[in-house]
Amino acid sequence: MAEKDKVVGKALYLELHSGEQRYQMLVTPDGVSSAGKNVPAVLYRRQVSRTAPRRAWKTTSFPSLSLNEFGAYTLLTKELALESATSRVTYISNIVERLNSYNYRIYKTPIFVEVSQADLDDVRAAKTPYKILGRITRVRRALGFQDLLA
């Protein structure tokens, strides 16, 4: 296995439904690119429907965690780690609460897929992570998710 294909984390995919509307969310992990650069966690999200089945993904980067001179993450105090985690979770929580007010509900189950260093290189380059999305599509089919346009 090539170094760029090594699994470096897991991405979370959520699909929420409200009538004919579908809201998709993908959260990629923090990591280090093949060039040793910091890659912050990114939230990709979009709303699709029969009338707009191929909407573009909106992206939001989370505050990046700092790397030390050896390319490893700097250890944080418990207080700073909790503060960082709280700010990240609060952002996603606000989106989910807003969707809940519009009667969106999580469909089936959240999906976790593996992320490689090559995937993180795409995320760092602000490209849509199509390889991750392909893995999600295969898992969606295996779990019996509805087609987005069905």
Assign 22 to helix, strand or coil: strand
**In percent, how much of the chain has pLDDT > 90?**
47
Q: Say if residue 49 is exposed, middle or buried (CB neighbours under 10 Å; 0-12, 13-18, 19+).
A: middle
Given a cut of 90, whether residue 146 has pLDDT beyond it is: no
pLDDT score recorded for residue 2 = 61
The CA-atom distances, in angstroms, between 27 and each of 19, 71, 121, 132, 150 are 24, 23, 15, 11, 25
Please give the structure tokens belonging to residue 22: 């579908």
**What average pLDDT does range 51-58 have in this prediction?**
88
Assigned token pair, 55: 């909407």
Q: Which residue has the higher pLDDT, 109 or 85?
A: 109
Which residues, other chains included, contact 102 with Cβ-Cβ below 8 Å and sequence gap of 6+? 18
Q: How confident is the model at residue 88 (pLDDT cuts 50, 70, 90)?
A: confident
Is residue 3 very low, low, confident or very high in pLDDT (cuts 50, 70, 90)? low
Q: How many CB atoms lie within 10 A of CB 124?
A: 19
At residue 113, does pLDDT exceed 80? yes
- In the prediction, which pLDDT does 130 show? 92
CA distance 26 to 69: 30
pLDDT above 50 for 123: yes
